[in-house]
Amino acid sequence: MLTHSQLRRFAVVDTHGQRVKLMDLAIELGDAEYPAVEYLLFRTRDKQVMCLPWRMVQRVDPAQRCIGVQDLGMAEPTSAEELGQMLLLKRDILDAMVLDLLNRRATRANDLSLAEEDGTLRLIGADTSAWGVLRRLSRGRFAGRSDIYDWKYIEFLRGDPQAPLTGAKYYRRIERLPPGEIANLSDSLPYLHAAELLHLLPDAIATDTLESLLPERQLQVFEELDEQRAVRFLANMAPDRAADLLGALEPDEAKRFLEQLPLERMNPIIELLRYPSDTAGGIMTNDVLFVAKHLTVAEARQALQPRLKRPDFILFIYVVDNVDTRQLCGVITIRTLLITSDAECIENIMNPYLITIRPLEPAATVAQRVIDSDLAALPVVGQHGQIVGAVTIDAAIAQLAVAGSYRLPRVFS
Amino acid sequence: MSIPPAPQGLEAVSDLQPPPSALQRRQFGTAGLRLTLRGRTIRLRGLRRPPTGALRWLAILGPGIVAGAAGNDGGAIASYSSAGAQFGYDLLWLIVILTVSLAVVQEMSARLGAATGRGLLDLIRERFGLSWALFAISIVLLANGGLIVSEFVGIGSGMELMGVSKYISVPLAAALVWFLVVVGSYNRVEKIFLIMTLVFFAYPVAAVLAHPHWNEVAKGVLMPKFHLSAGYITVFVGLIGTTLTPYQQLFQQSAVVEKGLARRHYGPERIDVYAGQVFSNLVAIFIIIATAATLHAHGKTAINTAADAAQALQPIAGNAAKTIFAVGLVGASLLSAAVLPLATAYSISEAFGFAKGVSLDFRRGRVFFGLFTFLLLFGAGVALIPNVPVITLLVGVQVFNGILLPVFLLFIMLLINDRRLTGNLKNTRLYNILGWGTFALVTIAVVVLLGAQALGLFGLQLFGGS
């Protein structure tokens, strides 16, 4: 195994006895778990950068500190443009921000470790410890302890939000993590890196991640996203989260995004945006399930099936007189719906005694009531008794947590 | 008018009367916006038009003002006071030039922060490699370590003016700052420190009441005047070092990063930066005028203690001069004693890839809070050593900062002009001229100072004794 700090002192020698200093190594981030070194780069006396494919390498000799090749004359000059497109170990990866997926943290590659296997040199790990710094400063003379993280569990980011869109290669191993953890991880990244991360995730995971970001961070990252993708994310977000995000944008921008959304996604968001943000309407979700009271349990299951594919909040199913007027009559839980016999009428099993909220009540009072009720949500009912949404316990906690000092509990941690 | 209570679940919901419409017609604080979307006109109260006029500017003010106010710390007041006492109005022109330079440099730091979302040391590490980053980090540690000591010296001498021994006030202040940053809500307390520094606005009043010769003042502002003496050069570099301090740039950049400002909203942020620097340097100018009109005019040119410096406030405050001066000094020093270790710990943690930020808890930010704690202990500890030559130390630290400044400026100029990093927020030509101009001014001043010192070592005296 070799470390990059050792490699930096290596020379390239050929069979004719010619000797040059190794400048950098170009790797290819491909499908292989450990990326292979593709080219070695060196400078000629007149500063021209030359590249030589790694397959020309005959031996790597750590004792002599040299890489033996057949003939240095076979190297080809590299233009600045080609150089810009390559991924170089020293220039791009060393010192860059890497995501250590095992420990769920963003850190820096202080040193790299490589290993040779069947004639290919592969990048197998990154050292993120202080020893790596020491080893580099001593140019590999002082080895110390090495704290090497397997490259398999590392995601390398370039810091350019556009890179994933222009065909740059990534491992995309990060998409195996739950979106909440990706969000936590990206809260500690510079915002351009966070936007890059969202660009390389599949839409569904990226949307969930975007929803879980801290509010200010969410806004900052959202504004760096590619517009089409941003619209797709908005369309996939829960309407209340999307409304909160749009409410934080400049009005003109909010309008531009709203207009690009498909009608069936735009309407619920607009309904929510009609209420000031400090009212129950401002914190509720209107993505709630409801069924007509005259249906049987079997019919209700049938009717709910297509809708169950989307909504986020599914614990309560509200019962209405009919689905057009949406007059609220009662509530059943998803559990009741599953355990009751098919022929039973919904009206007979629903609970008609409900605590309801009006959309223009102050958000703080409402949030307190939801928490006091110890229920997962309270329904919000409009002027004519129609259900317009529900304030979930999540929204209530978020509302009260913002109002209080969220840093206070740290005294006890 | 009584509003019937909301349904409480005691009657079946379908039997309830519709809710009263009075509640619906409640007056709203936010009128919302009328938007036409696909032919439908709707009023959306969930959207807000950004505040306009004065409110808008107030909303923008933030890190720039703090950076400016923290710049007028104990050491700075000492430098300004000695400049005024020793050379009267002769150095006012330098402050005017420095205001422009400082505003430009601070603006570049803020812009670098907004364009990249990262701190200065982090960028240095990635663009120039580990060795340069370590070099920059050692500079930061040395310069800021010295400054932190001077903040606690400022707190100690300010409190001694109010009759509290420094052996009580300095440890208390360190504990207070530590507690507020690590446990409490730093952001709220920052405002209290800021308000304490407002008493420095007593200086403009004192300056006017002292009846300075306004002709002389105008001459001092407009016409550069040089003295060929070692004292002048030292004060000159000291002024540069105290006005343009590397940590202000570090702080400005990380504060913009923490504020979560996106590239495209950077424009108005400049107002914050400019306002902060203009305010803080106006105070500097009036400190010089006030000391020049009181102390210098009466032949008192040497300032040795905080009490000497406080005399400049006598025209406005009479016997209360000492107290007013002390409150301002303690406020400014407390603010910097919090800001300095924070900015230092933040940038160093960032460069090494450790978790950082005041919003973390101690467990998740061990290195960050560890560094912060160490810097506070170091600063307070050194400040408590008996018989520390206070003023020499203060001025020495400022001169040291002046010497380090060119290095930092060079990094900032190179980074801000790197299109790959800053994109369309790259420097314009005017900024480049002003930026490199500042770099040249600072470098020449430092070279002259070092040259004079070096010649002094060999027994040569270039300018005659001070």
pLDDT one-digit tens code per residue, A105-163 = 888 888 888 888 888 888 988 888 777 788 887 776 776 677 788 888 888 888 888 88
Q: Find the mean pLDDT for residues B346-359.
A: 78
Q: Residue B31: which of B46, B15, B13 has the closest Cα? A: B46
Mutate which of B10, B13, B124 to test chain A, going by most A C-beta atoms within 10 A?
B13
DSSP assignment letter at A362: B
Task: Determine which of A128, A214, A224, A407 to mutate to test the interface with B (most B C-beta atoms within 10 Å).
Answer: A407
Answer for the pair B435, B414: CB distance below 8 angstroms, yes or no. Answer: no
Name, in order, each residue with C-beta under 8 angstroms of A25's C-beta and a sequence gap of 6 or more: A7, A37, A39, A40, A41, A88, A89, A90, A121
B33 vs A: CB within 8 A? yes
Has residue A408 got a pLDDT over 70? no
Distance of CA A69 to the CA centre of its chain: 43
Helix (H, G, I), strand (E, B) or coil at A290: strand
Please tell me which residue of chain A has the smallest CA distance to B359: A407
Q: Is the pLDDT of residue A407 over 50?
A: no
ipTM (interface predicted TM): 0.78
Report the residue of chain B nearest A280, measured CA to CA: B46
Average pLDDT, chain A: 85
Check residue B174 and give its pLDDT.
92
Using the Cβ of B424 and the Cβ atoms of chain A, whether some distance falls under 8 Å is answered with no
CB contact under 8 A, B46 and A385: no
pLDDT tens-place string over residues B101-129 = 888 999 999 999 988 888 898 899 888 88
pLDDT at A333: 92
Q: Do A385 and B14 touch (CB under 8 A)?
A: yes
Asked if A355 lies within 8 A of B7 by C-beta distance, the reply is yes
Cβ separation B126–A360 shorter than 8 A: no
Q: Look at residues A73, A50, A70 and name the one whose alpha carbon lies nearest to residue A59.
A: A70
Distance CA A117, CA A142 (A): 25
Q: DSSP letter string over B119-130? A: -HHHHHHHHH-H
- Choose the closest CB to A258 out of B37, B184, B185: B37
Partners of residue A385 in chain B, C-beta under 8 Å: 13-14, 16, 18-19
More confident residue, A225 or B260: A225
Residues B278-305 pLDDT 10s:
888 888 888 888 888 888 877 777 777 6
Residue B364 pLDDT exceeds 70: yes
Q: How far is B133 from chain A (nearest CA, A)?
A: 11
Q: How many Cβ contacts (< 8 angstroms) between chains A and B?
A: 158
Residues A10 and A22: beta-carbon distance below 8 Å:
yes
Give the single-character DSSP code of B321. H
Mean of per-residue pLDDT scores for chain B: 79
Q: Does any CB of chain B come closer than 8 Å to the CB of residue A227?
A: no
Query: What local confidence, expressed as pLDDT, does residue B2 receive?
Result: 44
Sign of torsion, CA A167 A172 A174 A175? positive
Residues of A in Cβ contact (< 8 Å) with B16: 385
Chain B partners of A190 at a C-beta cutoff of 8 Å? 116-118, 257
Query: How many Cβ atoms from other residues are within 10 Å of residue A397's Cβ?
Result: 13
Its pTM stands at: 0.81
Residue pair A42/A24 in contact (Cβ under 8 Å)? The answer is no
Distance to chain B for A191, nearest Cα, Å: 6
Query: Cβ(A396)–Cβ(A380) under 8 Å?
Result: no
pLDDT at A282 over 80: yes
- The one-character DSSP state at B163 is T
Interchain contact B45–A (C-beta under 8 A):
yes
Residue B238 confidence (pLDDT) above 80: no
Tens-digit pLDDT profile for residues A320-359: 998 888 999 999 998 998 899 999 999 999 998 888 998 8
- A79 close to B (CB below 8 A): no
Cross-chain Cβ contact B263/A224 below 8 Å: yes
Residue B3, pLDDT score: 47
Contacts 24+ apart (CB under 8 A), B191-197: B193/B331, B193/B332, B193/B334, B193/B335, B193/B338, B194/B65, B194/B66, B194/B69, B194/B331, B194/B335, B195/B331, B196/B327, B196/B328, B196/B330, B196/B331, B196/B332, B196/B334, B196/B335, B197/B69, B197/B72, B197/B328, B197/B331, B197/B332, B197/B335
Q: Is B365 helix (H, G, I), strand (E, B) or coil?
A: coil
Domains along chain A with CATH numbers:
2-141 (no CATH), 163-274 (1.25.60.10), 289-401 (3.10.580.10)
Whether A356 sits inside 8 A of B361 (CB atoms) is no
Cite the DSSP H helix spans in A8-129.
80-85
- What is the mean pLDDT of the segment spanning B69-92? 83
Alpha helix stretches (DSSP H) within A146-279 = 179-187, 191-200, 203-212, 215-222, 227-236, 239-248, 251-260, 263-273
Q: Which domains does chain B have, with CATH numbers?
A: 63-457 (1.20.1740.10)
Q: What is the pLDDT of residue B187?
A: 65
The whole-number average pLDDT for the span B375-385 is 90
**Which residues of chain B make contact with A361, given a CB cutoff of 8 A?**
6, 23
- The pLDDT score that the predictor gives to residue A379 is 93
Q: What is the DSSP letter of A90?
A: I
pLDDT interval class at B395 (50, 70, 90): low
Return the residue in B44, B116, B254, B420 with the most chain A beta carbons within 10 A, the one to mutate for interface testing.
B44
* Residue in A136, A223, A410 closest to B262 by CB: A223
* pLDDT tier at A406, thresholds 50, 70, 90: very low
Distance between B463 CA and the closest CA of chain A, angstroms? 43
Q: How far apart are CA A401 and CA A405, in angstroms?
A: 7
B466 has a pLDDT exceeding 60: no
Judged by a CB distance cut-off of 8 A, whether residue B185 touches chain A is: yes
Question: What's the DSSP call for residue B465?
Answer: -
Distance, in angstroms, between A17 CA and closest chain B CA? Answer: 32
d(CA A258, CA B42): 13
Q: Tell me if chain A has a CB within 8 Å of the CB of B58.
A: no
At residue B359 the predicted structure's pLDDT band, cuts being 50, 70 and 90, is low
Among the listed residues B424, B9, B103, the one whose alpha carbon sits nearest the alpha carbon of residue A369:
B9
Give pLDDT, residue A370.
92
Give the DSSP H/E element, type plus range, for residue B442.
Answer: helix B429-457
- pLDDT at residue number B411: 93
Cα B39 to Cα B45: distance, rounded to the nearest angstrom: 19
